[in-house]
Structure 1
Amino acid sequence: MTIQLLLKIGAVGILVALLNQILKHSGKDELAFLLNLAGLILVLSWIIPYIVEFFNDIMKLVNIGG
């Protein structure tokens, strides 16, 4: 995992938090929820390949998945 990925995740988190507060104070709670969900899906799409690689390395370490 690179520092660039961590900085991207942090930037998305700050942006989502800021927009979330703006939307909630405008009375658009549904859009705020959708924004949070979109941010979560975006970050998960960046992280899932690293999680898969981690579990593959663990399986190789204990000789489960070859």
Structure 2
Amino acid sequence: MSVTLIFKIAAVGILVSILSQVLKHSGREEQAFLVSFAGLILVLGWILPYIYELFLTIQRLFAL
């Protein structure tokens, strides 16, 4: 995992939290939830290959 991925995740977290707070204060709580959900899906899409690689490594390690 590279450092740039960590910075991307941090940037998405900061942007999502700011947008979510702005939308909540303007009374658009449904859109705030959707922004948070979209950020979560985006980050999960980025880290999913690393999780898959981790499970493959564990499987090879224990020869399952």
Aligned position for 1:54: 54
Could you state the TM-score of these two structures normalised by the residue count of structure 2? 0.99
Compare the two structures and name the one with the higher helix fraction: 2
Q: Percent identity?
A: 58
C-alpha distance in 1, partners of 2:37/2:62?
36
Aligned position for 1:39: 39
Aligned length: 64
Q: How does 1:1-66 map to 2 (within 5 A)?
A: 1-64=1-64
For structure 2, the residue ranges without an aligned partner over 5 or more in a row are none
**Structure 1 ranges of 4+ moved more than 3 A:** none
C-alpha distance in 2, partners of 1:44/1:11?
14
For structure 1, the residue ranges without an aligned partner over 5 or more in a row are none
Q: Please provide the CA RMSD for this pair.
A: 0.3
Once the two structures are TM-superposed, the CA of residue 47 in structure 1 deviates from its matched residue by 0.5
Q: Which has the higher contact order (CA 8 A, sep 6+)?
A: 2
